[in-house]
Every structure is written in structure tokens, then in C-alpha cells.
Chain A
């Protein structure tokens, strides 16, 4: 395993553990305002300093990471489930079903979907669950296309044909023969979907359309930090660094997995 991939895995593990368990062990919480310590630099009392409202930054970054990672996990799951199911059905049944289903994907592609996601979020309130679902519903198109392409290739392989001739049920062929052979592709693209989802969530939060107080996320923290960076520059740097390194790690990991499973892959 190459060094960048090792480092990425290490970073992601650290972030995951500290975001999930960190807030439990912190003496501070995300909402307590320390009136005597507003916008203080990183110190022994507040390791990452405090923001302009006098709240401990470290625990806020960890909580924000929790939200961002949770959004990423749920939205990626939604997009994987939708995309894989859709892609397998279109690819396996082929013919007219395939044509119709893929034309639908083409049409959805042509819509400026990011704008529709923003619309959905604005109009159906600031529910965190809708953010998950909206983003997942936006991300599944790529997965559907890739899975369909792979399924088309698999479908004509001798072992699948043998299974069909033996009279195996389609449902079972899909579960026992098609799906296991898709795992590497799904794994790679799921890994590459995660940073995109985190990016979209933080983009929406940055515009003030995503996560709302008292919840926070990396995007919301960067947004707050950017507003007040002259008073408390560290409130911009720390969340920005955490967000960027995490995105970087997921990208490196995804690229590495792809090279591992498919050394001949030409696209980037």
C-alpha cells in the first residue's frame, strides 16, 4: 500500500473516532458561551481557541464533523441503494426497459440539479433528513450509469448464462452472481461519492441553506469563521483544515481503490 493511501486511512480513522467519541469526553459543549473568553486564541484552556461567541472551537469542530459525516453516510447510502438497484435493473433486463430508464437518467442529468436541490431545501424547510435525501437523490445518477455499464458486461458472461440455463430465478442470479461482481465498482464509487456529498452539504450550509443552529457542520463553521476571521482567524483555519484534509483523504483513498481494482482504468 502506498504512503498517501496509508496516511489518508489514518487521518479518516482519527477524524471518525474523534468526531464520534470526542464530544463525549470534552469538558465543554457546543452551546455554552464563555463570556470571559470570547474569540480567544488557542490555549491550554481552549485547545483550538473560542469563536466570536465565546464557544469552544474544538468541540464545535468535532460536533460539526459528526453532522457532516452523518450526512455523508446517509446520503451515500441513499445514492448507492438507488443507483445500484436502478443500474442493475436497467442493465440486466436491457432492451426497452433499459432504454426508457436510461433516457430518464439523461433527462435528470440535463436539469441543473444543484439548483433543484437548493429549491427543495428552501421550500421544504430546514429538516436535516431532507438534506440527506435531497443530496442522495442528486448523487445516484452517476452510480446508476456505472452499475448499468458493468451489469451489461456481466450479463453476457458464461457463468451468468449457465445460471440462466439451469433455471435459476432472476432475483437470485442478481443477488448471488451479479451483485458480488459489482462490489469493487460500488465500493470505489461510494468512496468517491462521500467527499462530493460532504462538499455539497457544506456548500449548502455555507449559503445558509443547510444545517441550522443549534446543530452545526463543517460548512457552517467555515461560513461563520469566514465572516469573523479578522477577529478570530483560527475559527476559519481549523474547520477549513479538517474539512479539506478529510475531502483530500477520501479522494486519495477512492483513487487508490480504483487503481487497485482496475489498474487499466484510463479515466481519472
Chain B
């Protein structure tokens, strides 16, 4: 187990380095700079600003310096928000995005899994059809359509919930964005779960358990649920990435101060350090999440362990 974790982390390092390098040179190759504005600065002042941020050095030196900085966890100053370091911006934005993502994923699992199981147990009946129509709908309707719709009905017409804002993480402000973010994941997890349960249900060990006279509920909980959960577990890795990109939109719709805003704004303003930091963080979180998924699947499914060892 420990060797697995170490191996995966060592494999992650070159990937993260690649992300860093690619983003770095992509950003620098792009036209425009962080200090281009409508009103151009006096040349002397601009030279001073550029020198202050060491943007006058040759590119490879800048790259080397940046790499060294990042290794000790310093993402440098932000070019667009003077007096604030990128670390401070991240410290304010990351918790928002993570809170949103965490609750959305939890909601998706708690609704998606039972929905899928329910549909599978009624395979071919109206319950199944209904659940799957809802699921295809959930995948097809984009979250920037769902978001405004929920605001229009729940927040404005019926005034049940606030339409947006963060307010220090008050739960009623977070309910709508979390629901919106979770919807496609609920749909996808329900579909995965349905197929997996139908599949497992045909296995001999389930038939034996049923023949012994266990109730459907007991068989489901004790025997079927664990093997049927594997596809969902493997999906959680890609889901993490999807959650990050999804939350960019959600943050914009609901006016939440998360990472997404910094990313889009930063990219538009050529705020090199800020964009680099966001991209790196997303990459890092993806790696961590995939690792967690692997660790969990090894704990839950001993069979996978022997496969890994022999391969």
C-alpha cells in the first residue's frame, strides 16, 4: 500500500512539472503583457515596474527562478492585485471552491447511488424509465442553464433561498450552487450504479444469497453494494476534474469568490503568476484525488491489489 502511494506520488511529479512548464511558456508566448493597459505608462515607469517583477530577465532565467520559488511553496506576487501575494488570493479562493466541490460530490453520491439502485431493482419498469429519463436530462442540461433557472424559481419567484453570494459560507447561500453543481454528477452516478447493480445481480453469489432466503434489502446491502460501487469509485477521479471546471461557471452565476474567478480574470489580464498557481493547484488536486480513489479501491477490493502486484 505504502509503495503504491509513493510510486504514484513520484509519477505525479513529472506530470506536475510538465503542467507548470507548458503553462509557463504558453503564457509567455501569448501576445500582451500584464502591464498593458488603455493608458500606457511612461517608458521609465514601465521599465521600473517590469524590473521590479524581474520580467526583464531572459525567459529561461525567469523560468528557473519561478521553478525555485514554487518548490518552496511561494507563488510570487500577483500582477493585477498589487500588495497581495498569489498565496493570499489562493488562501481566500481555494476554501470556497473546495467547500462547494465537497458538498456537491457528497450530495451526488447520496442521491445518485440510491437512485441507481432503485432503477436497477425495477429494471424495465416505469421506475427505471423515469430515473433514467431524469438522468439523461441531468447530463444534457448544462449547469449554466440549471443555475439561472433555480435562481429564477427558488430565489426570485418563491423567495425560499438567497440568489447568490458567499456570506462567510452560510448554508442557505450555498444550497443553490451546490444543487446546481451536483446535478450532472447525480445523473452520471445513477447511470453507473444502475448498470453495475444489474450486472452484479446476475452473479451466482447473489442468487445463492437470495435462495437462502435473505431479503432483497439484506442482499443488496451486504453483498451487492460493494462490488457494484467500483465503477462509481473509479469515476470519482475524472469527476474531480469536472467539478473544478464546473465550479468556474457556478461561481460566476452565483457570485462566489472562488478560484474560478481568479482563473478567468487572471487569464484575461495576463496575470501570469495567478494563472500559473490556479492551474498548478487544479493539477495537484487532481493528482491527490486520483490517489485517494486508488487507495480506497485497494482497501475495498483486495482483488485489485494482486493485479497491481503482478502487473
Contacts and interface: CB of A to CB of B under 8 A. Distances in A.
Interface in B1-50: 15, 18-19, 22-23, 26-27, 29-32
B268 A122 contact: yes
A199 interface: yes
> B-side binding surface: helix, strand, loop or mixed?
helix
Contact of B264 (A202, A207, A252): A207
A172 interface: no
Interface of B: 15, 18-19, 22-23, 26-27, 29-32, 136-137, 139-142, 144-145, 147-149, 152, 156, 188, 191-192, 194-195, 199, 231, 241, 244-245, 248-249, 252-253, 263-264, 267-268, 275, 278-279, 282-283, 286-287
Nearest to A108: B18
Contacts of B244: 112
Nearest to B287: A110
A255 B23 CA distance: 36
A219 B148 CA distance: 13
Contacts of A119: 23, 26-27, 267, 275, 279
Contacts of A203: 142, 144, 245, 249
A206 B142 CA distance: 11
A111 B19 CA distance: 6
5 contacts: A110-B19, A115-B278, A119-B26, A226-B148, A268-B192
Given A115-B245, A247-B141, A110 B275 contact: no
A94 interface: no
Given A111-B18, A229-B152, A251-B136, A123 B191 contact: no
A124 B141 CA distance: 29
A72 interface: no
A181 to B, nearest CB: 26
User: Which of A112, A223, A243, A255 has the most B CB atoms < 10 Å from its CB?
Assistant: A112
B264 to A, nearest CB: 6
B249 A207 contact: yes
B142 A118 contact: no
Interface string A27-68: 000000000000000000000000000000000000000000
A87 interface: no
User: Which of A110, A209, A255 has the most B CB atoms < 10 Å from its CB?
Assistant: A110
A111 B268 CA distance: 21
Given A119-B23, A122-B267, A123-B27, A112 B283 contact: yes
Contact of A123 (B31, B148, B241): B31
Given A110-B283, A115-B263, A222-B144, 20 more contacts: A110-B286, A112-B279, A112-B282, A115-B278, A116-B26, A116-B279, A118-B267, A119-B26, A120-B26, A195-B140, A229-B152, A230-B156, A236-B149, A240-B149, A244-B140, A248-B136, A248-B140, A251-B140, A267-B231, A268-B191
A114 B241 contact: yes
A223 B147 CA distance: 11
Contact of A116 (B23, B145, B249, B286): B23
Contact of A243 (B27, B145, B267): B145
B162 to A, nearest CB: 16
A207 B248 contact: yes
Contacts of A114: 241, 245
Contacts of B147: 226
Contacts of B264: 118, 207, 209
Nearest to A111: B19
A231 to B, nearest CB: 12
Interface in A180-236: 195, 199, 202-203, 206-207, 209, 219, 222-223, 225-226, 229-230, 233, 236
Contacts of A118: 263-264, 267
Nearest to B14: A107
A237 to B, nearest CB: 9
Contacts of B249: 203, 206-207
A96 interface: no
Contacts of A124: 30
B267 A107 contact: no
A116 B15 CA distance: 14
Contacts of A199: 142
Contacts of A122: 30, 267-268
A169 interface: no
A229 B148 contact: yes
A123 B279 CA distance: 15
A221 to B, nearest CB: 11
Contact of B241 (A112, A222, A267): A112
Contact of A252 (B136, B141, B241): B136
A268 B26 contact: no
B232 to A, nearest CB: 11
B112 to A, nearest CB: 12
Contacts of B192: 268
B234 to A, nearest CB: 11
A145 B221 CA distance: 35
**Which 3 interchain pairs have the tightest Cβ spacing?**
A123-B30, A248-B140, A226-B148
B145 A107 contact: no
A266 interface: yes
